[in-house]
Structure 1
Amino acid sequence: MRGSWTARLLPWAVGLATGVLALGPALGRGFVLRYDMVFVPEPSVEAALAGADGFPRAIPSDVVVAALSALVPSDLVQSALLLAIFVLGTAGAARLALRLLRDRGPLGPGTAVAAVAAGVAYVWNPFVAERLLLGQWAVLLGYAGLPWVVAATARLADRTPGRGLAGLVCALIPAAIGGFSSVLISALTVGPVALWNRGPAVTRWWSRAGVFVSALVLVSLPWLVPSLTGGAVTDPLGVEAFAPRSDTPFGELGSLFVLGGVWNAGAVPPGYGEPVTALLRLVLCVSALAAWAYWMWRRDRPVIGAGVSAGAAAGFAVALLGVVGSGRALTAGLIGLWPGFGPLRDAQLYVAPFGLLQALGFAFAVSCLAGAAHTPVWRAGAGAFAALLPVVVLPGLAWGAGGRMAPVDYPDEWHGVQAEVAADDVPGSVVVLPWNAYRGLDWSGETVVSLDPATKLFDRRTLWNDDLSVGTADGGTVVVGGEDQLAREAAEVLDPDPETGLPRGEELADGLGGLGARYVLVSTPVDNGFWYEGQGFEVAREGAELTLLRVPEARVKADKPGITGLEVTGGLVTVVAIIWSVARSGSSLVLQCPGPKLGRSTRKESPK
């Protein structure tokens, strides 16, 4: 089995099949627009690099999408990235489990099925389903790369620092695309693995720690540099708004244990939380955790077991901070002291390491089940049944969450305003109205809530309301303040109506032009134009759904947008480091083996 092409290709084939089953119609032509997931035709690299004030959360992912869209249509880029989540995640978890099970005896069909079961369990769970429906594809891409990062970190014990750094940077590519949340989750998951290795090692723990930190810094520079130099602020109210919520009958704690509990009720897959499926899901998770604990108690326990356990426990502890009032108060206090603690607001995000632990424990349980069968037929049948259990207990993820992720086409009006703005060589930003972050899009016949696509449509900076209104369980609303200082200044000029989001201010063209705005796009039907008449705008384009207003060139006080030399240097360093890592490690992410022989007798990796 070890050298067969069947064993090598099986995890990738299963990952592909799992992705097709999960995404279904989302892989068709057109754009899937849902909450934070907004892809647009012909995105601009320049606009992605310009970003906005505050934490540059989307810079790495937006730049990658724009760069790939220069080669192939952007809707195909979206489909490929969504499919990569399932393929990379399944293959990485399966191949990692296969190597951890290797020490228990000769590899056979039962072991291969157990490894595949780990891959399926890793990507078919409430965490992936809810984050996908929330539109956080970049975070999920980093989640898919976790098993690869764990394996590359385990290899640091048996590699020289230079080769270890190359392999780790290569494995961190999905997290680098995902941005700061993905990198933080990777650090939390595999930091203990880098420090704690009970097997023989060529390098000391401090050397491994230095390599690990260096790799994290290298892949983080595109968002780390502007974060440190941009004077970003974070609203502590987000701790309450993004606190885990109960989406099962087991309360917040039980929901987190089964990898659910996302803060947005609209991101729950169909049928999830029903008593029967929730109970089956709970039994599955308890069994996986019990199997992992038993495996850790055995003499043939994996050498990375203690590190993975510590990372999962730390992540679950962070998630629990959002459950209790004292934990939320602590997190809010930390954010008040330093905005860098802002990523801790979305506490449920940090159950991701626990998801990997459960997947590996599930592999061990399936391996024991298959090994107890008396005949090859029963062994294969028992293993295949167990491998399908994650799908059975969460059917709501299948086929684009029951059609919720159906793609749509942008109306011609959107292409028209995009071309109109692109043809203008006068610099200046675009103000997006109504002054609300999210829209109810009905292009496909049913309302789809998503971030306004106009925020990513143009080849220049956009100003939009990045405040976020979140409903609470008691029927109230928590408004989490945005981070873009220039957007707050624009709001003062606009004086938007809370009901309609349209401006009530006076002399808008002068006020917005003074902030460097060249265009105002109203991405909603306008019954009458009384609010912009006499405000000094030129009407550039009018349509049934969109109205594009132009600020006269004489009133625009804007320079050519650009990024600082420090930010350019940081991005170039990251790109060069990734290219070097691929060449130095002698492989790409998808071709490299996710781990050496992880047994206690291993000292050196076999040459490739």
Structure 2
Amino acid sequence: MAPAYALVLAVAVTAPLLAPGYLLLRDAVSTPRSFLTDAALGLTQAAPRALPQDVAVALASSVLDGGVVVKALLILGIWLAGWGAARLAAAMLPDAGLAGQCVAATVAIWNPYVAERLLQGHWSLLIGYGALPWVAASVLALRSSPGGVGGVGAVLFWTALAGLTPTGLMLAATVALTCAVAPGSGWSRRVCAAVGLAAAITAALPWLVASAVAQGWSPGADQGAAIRAFAARAEPGLGTLGSLAGLGGIWNADAVPPSRTGLFAVVATLVLLAVVAAGMPVLIRRRVGVPLLALAVTAVAVPALMATGPGLATIEAVIEAVPGLGVVRDGQKWVALAMPGYALAGAAAVVALRPRVPAVATAAVCCAAVIATLPDLAWGVGGRVRPVEYPAAWREAAAVIDADPAPVAVLPVDSMRRFAWAGSAPVLDPLPRWLRAEVLSTGDLSIGGHTVPGEGVRAREIQALLLAGADRDRLAAAGVRWVVVEGSGVDLALPVAFRDGELTVYRVGGDSPSSPHRGIVLAAHGVWLAQLVVGLGAMMVWRRRLRGTDRRDEHVEGPERRDQ
């Protein structure tokens, strides 16, 4: 019943995505087909933040339309969050029953974090988010009673799934190490921590290897401005700490559901925290949930500190020392670490109130209150998360370039676009994920009228040539074969290969060699994929054996019961 209930909630949130079309909203970009370009492998002058996500989508889209792949994975991630929270509650609080599992699933799915990350287009981060309660349950199972190869397989699989992005992997590794210190009589804390750490390291190989062998990239100039722009945001009446405690506070005020833009956010936050607070005494008494509660408190407090003056200065110093840690600057996304503890506390509320209130009544009130205080999460966050269709010109232009794939420069120079056919929200340029060729992108972002420079130094140099009116020979010498102008109003003195009201493709003729490191990066992705497949297989075999053991036990106990 709990998986079905979680699926109902997930579909209620993502229902518009069941229609044909492509998810194209801010950072979410899906296209009919993606390819294993150097950019997809993290081998260009940009930090490899989308590995192994881009490779996974490229492989899957060779079999199934890329729009279907991304939408299916997003729905799966949200469903797994609710189902995993219910599974975690069933394992840690069996006396909470189905009622407690439903509360846990509701807390995991129906919250501002899910709404805001949907509106920001972080579909792959939500897959990592959905894997967190499964990682917690897997490691806690090893701590309570060793599951052998199957238990390790579960940790390997859920960690690899969360590792679809570096952020998801870091979240999963943190949850695994936290649960490794929980009390238990199974495998030792050191062994469980070693299993979790080893799973994280192997799952991280795609972006670790890409970072080591890719062309030199820098964090970009003016990191202080970028860090300030990505700091957690205070909601009305709550302040930064209160917003984060309510699982809200994303940096982008435009990626927020309307119900969180006024004082009603205070009511919603108080309701969520009341549900969590009601169950905390039960978890504290039973000790097993204490590490997850401590992690939840830390996941709220640390991002709040990161948004202060000293916190911003510390993050800037860390990123300047280790440019690859630029992933930490979006402080609010780490609030995902609070979800397993919040969900478990929600389930414990049923146990805490059972002496005075029936479990079904407690669950009904808690679930209804959490849903009612975030009503606009339903139907794609009030219809804002919905699929769109590309104009025919995009397919035609892509066919021209894919017939002779080589580096592509793009105008306008901004990484974000606004297309009338894609809605009012900006979106990352889809071209880099559509073409078989490398698309030169600076990674520059415009936030609140301020441009945050990206790492694409070569792309910035070529864009400067374009804006200065460089001729065909200079562009070809710089290694550009194609120039694409998205929209109208720009006419270049270059040979036209395709023209439409949406796009113009110019043929230049230059070229540049592919990275010599493609093989080693593909091998690293092979390790990640093997971990995913082997972990899933071991986990399924283990669970099948457990079910078989339970049936044999029931068969043996049956005659004994009849003799009594």
Answer whether TM exceeds 0.5 for this pair: yes
Matched, 1:478 2:445: no
Partner of 1:401: 381
SS at match of 1:459: coil
Deviations 1:529-577 (A, max 9, x none): 2xx21xxx3210011111001112xxx1422456433212211222222
SS at match of 1:390: helix
> CA 1:198–1:347 in 2, change beyond 3 Å: closer, same or farther?
same
Partner of 2:460: 488
For these two proteins, the number of residue pairs brought into alignment is 541
> CA 1:86–1:339 in 2, change beyond 3 Å: closer, same or farther?
same
Matched AA of 1:168: V
Of residues 189, 209, 213 in structure 1, which corresponds to 2:193? 209
> CA 1:470–1:463 in 2, change beyond 3 Å: closer, same or farther?
same
CA contact (8 A) 2:16 2:387 kept: yes
Q: In 2, distance between residues paired with 1:417 and 1:260?
A: 40
Matched, 1:67 2:59: yes
Q: In 1, distance between residues paired with 2:323 and 2:102?
A: 41
Partner of 1:500: none
Matched, 1:262 2:250: yes
Matched, 1:287 2:274: yes
Of residues 168, 193, 205 in structure 2, which corresponds to 1:182? 168
Q: In 1, distance between residues paired with 2:101 and 2:540?
A: 25
SS at match of 2:410: strand
Deviations 1:213-241 (A, max 9, x none): 11001111111111233344324232111
Of residues 155, 158, 165 in structure 1, which corresponds to 2:141? 155
Deviations 1:436-466 (A, max 9, x none): 111111115x423111111211012111231
Query: Which structure 2 residues correspond to residues 239-254 of structure 1 after superposition, within 5 A?
Result: 239-254=227-242
> CA 1:50–1:223 in 2, change beyond 3 Å: closer, same or farther?
closer
SS at match of 1:115: helix
SS at match of 1:159: coil
> CA 1:101–1:186 in 2, change beyond 3 Å: closer, same or farther?
same
SS at match of 1:145: helix
Partner of 2:332: 348
Query: Which structure 2 residues correspond to residues 123-138 of structure 1 after superposition, within 5 A?
Result: 123-138=109-124
> CA 1:59–1:296 in 2, change beyond 3 Å: closer, same or farther?
closer
Partner of 1:519: 482
Residue 292 (structure 1) shift: 4.2
Partner of 2:558: none
CA contact (8 A) 1:239 1:331 kept: yes
Q: In 2, distance between residues paired with 1:22 and 1:160?
A: 35
Of residues 414, 427, 440 in structure 2, which corresponds to 1:450? 427
Deviations 1:467-519 (A, max 9, x none): 11211xxxxx433221223223323433xxxxxxxx22323x33332332211
Residue 169 (structure 1) shift: 0.9
CA contact (8 A) 1:84 1:141 kept: yes
> CA 1:485–1:292 in 2, change beyond 3 Å: closer, same or farther?
farther
SS at match of 1:540: strand
Residue 384 (structure 1) shift: 1.9
Of residues 104, 123, 128 in structure 2, which corresponds to 1:142? 128
Partner of 1:91: 83
CA contact (8 A) 1:190 1:311 kept: no
Partner of 1:600: none
Matched, 1:510 2:473: yes
CA contact (8 A) 2:409 2:440 kept: yes
Q: In 1, distance between residues paired with 2:275 and 2:434?
A: 44
Of residues 92, 95, 104 in structure 2, which corresponds to 1:118? 104
Deviations 1:337-387 (A, max 9, x none): 11133122001111111122122111111343455336xxxx534422322
Which sections of structure 1, spanning at least 5 residues, go unmatched? 1-9, 472-476, 495-502, 598-608
Partner of 2:538: 584
Of residues 155, 168, 190 in structure 1, which corresponds to 2:155? 168
Q: TM-score, length-normalised on structure 1?
A: 0.84
> CA 1:423–1:562 in 2, change beyond 3 Å: closer, same or farther?
farther
Q: In 1, distance between residues paired with 2:150 and 2:16?
A: 42
CA contact (8 A) 2:34 2:434 kept: yes
Of residues 24, 45, 50 in structure 1, which corresponds to 2:36? 45
Q: In 2, distance between residues paired with 1:592 and 1:187?
A: 27
Q: In 2, distance between residues paired with 1:372 and 1:28?
A: 45
Deviations 1:73-111 (A, max 9, x none): 222222211211221111000111122212xx4x6xxx2
> CA 1:306–1:386 in 2, change beyond 3 Å: closer, same or farther?
closer
CA contact (8 A) 2:91 2:137 kept: no
CA contact (8 A) 2:118 2:385 kept: no
Partner of 1:198: 183
> CA 1:525–1:562 in 2, change beyond 3 Å: closer, same or farther?
farther
Matched, 1:464 2:441: yes
Matched AA of 1:585: M
CA contact (8 A) 2:151 2:542 kept: no
SS at match of 1:520: strand
Deviations 1:145-175 (A, max 9, x none): 0000011111333337755432211112321
Q: In 1, distance between residues paired with 2:121 and 2:424?
A: 15
Query: Which structure 2 residues correspond to residues 8-47 of structure 1 after superposition, within 5 A?
Result: 10-46=1-37
Q: In 1, distance between residues paired with 2:464 and 2:83?
A: 50
Q: In 2, distance between residues paired with 1:292 and 1:511?
A: 67
Deviations 1:295-329 (A, max 9, x none): 2332xx152x2321332233234312332111101
SS at match of 1:479: strand
Q: In 2, distance between residues paired with 1:324 and 1:287?
A: 27
CA contact (8 A) 2:376 2:382 kept: yes
SS at match of 1:265: coil
> CA 1:260–1:212 in 2, change beyond 3 Å: closer, same or farther?
same
Partner of 1:218: 202
Larger % of helix: which? 2
CA contact (8 A) 2:87 2:137 kept: no
SS at match of 1:417: helix
Q: In 2, distance between residues paired with 1:421 and 1:113?
A: 56
Q: In 2, distance between residues paired with 1:365 and 1:155?
A: 22
Query: Which structure 2 residues correspond to residues 429-440 of structure 1 after superposition, within 5 A?
Result: 429-440=407-418
Residue 55 (structure 1) shift: 1.7
**Bigger shift: residues 561-570 or 450-459:** 561-570
> CA 1:561–1:522 in 2, change beyond 3 Å: closer, same or farther?
farther
**Bigger shift: residues 579-588 or 263-272:** 579-588
Deviations 1:403-427 (A, max 9, x none): 1123211101001001111112xx5
Of residues 419, 435, 447 in structure 2, which corresponds to 1:441? 419
CA contact (8 A) 1:193 1:306 kept: no
Residue 193 (structure 1) shift: 1.4
CA contact (8 A) 1:31 1:39 kept: yes
CA contact (8 A) 1:247 1:268 kept: no
CA contact (8 A) 1:170 1:588 kept: no
Query: Which structure 2 residues correspond to residues 379-390 of structure 1 after superposition, within 5 A?
Result: 379-390=359-370
> CA 1:293–1:278 in 2, change beyond 3 Å: closer, same or farther?
same
Query: Which structure 2 residues correspond to residues 372-383 of structure 1 after superposition, within 5 A?
Result: 372-373=356-357, 379-383=359-363
Q: In 1, distance between residues paired with 2:310 and 2:329?
A: 14
Q: TM-score, length-normalised on structure 2?
A: 0.90
CA contact (8 A) 1:437 1:467 kept: yes
Matched AA of 1:65: V
CA contact (8 A) 2:110 2:371 kept: yes
Q: In 1, distance between residues paired with 2:389 and 2:43?
A: 25
Q: In 1, distance between residues paired with 2:501 and 2:183?
A: 66
Partner of 2:343: 359
